[in-house]
Structure 1
């Protein structure tokens, strides 16, 4: 009888213990559910990465749509210059006025401008012709054409030097291109020429200085 009472007490204690344990678990679960949860702070690195990605996406979409604007304007390239050097321009003018070459040498060898001294020097090759007289007349006509082109070019100069060359044969039969006359005109001399009525045969006479090879003298 006594044993049954002891068993009954132990069973009652076990039930009470289990009840208390279950109550504690329930209270703990309720506390957990009702407690406010604190979000973990966002990583700064993750925020920066997201921002960078959004910027790249926006720029890419803008470029595709044609609305992307560069952060700085490109430096404009300098406009190409169409201005020629004076000597080059004058050479082109003279070449347009001279007749074509009939010998195997450049018709207009050089045009040199000494801006400091105000001197223009022109070297050219005289064309050949069927007679000495025609050859001399052609050389004078060349000199007149060149001087008139320079005088009407608008360039400022004080002196013009004309140097004509031709193929000369020495006593041994050797041919060589050589200077056959040199004409020098100062400003006071060429400014007196009226080109409308001027005769090229007088070009030696109006030159301030004329050095002429015998083969090209009158």
Structure 2
């Protein structure tokens, strides 16, 4: 078993243990050379068999293994748009999904800079307009966005996050869920956001995508 397969299975178990993957929701992938290893359709992230993953090429063509998650176009789009991406996490976590049902904070980010860790670990997170799960046109829209990002909210659906490793993608997905919970807890009360200058300093120091 390759390390990539083991990392993916361990990440699924961790996210499920955190309560971020209810039922059989969510899907994970990792880049293994020039192939995408992705969870099969209907997979329970708590019980991923690392030897029974779907294998795709970078265009989403099915090469081996069981039928892939219907969200495979989204995963492939992340890898094609960002050569640094090595893993993708898509969840239906409660708070980030709730935020995906609200108007976005700005054109580039559905979530405002509430905390330094959101800016550092996630960065600007645009809201992609609603499309049915697995929609190839929505994946194309993500791929063509003309600014850097490593996370997006799918409207009325949930978060999708890429990372330079599976660990980085998981950490960013967890951080996005946490900042979404904070945003919902604040409700309509005026919140002190990081200033543009404060956010830019963090983005520059940690190499995260932020800014107009």
> TM-score, normalising length from structure 1?
0.26
Q: Which has the higher contact order (CA 8 A, sep 6+)?
A: 2
Higher helix share: 1
> Highest CA radius of gyration, 1 or 2?
1
> TM-score, normalising length from structure 2?
0.26
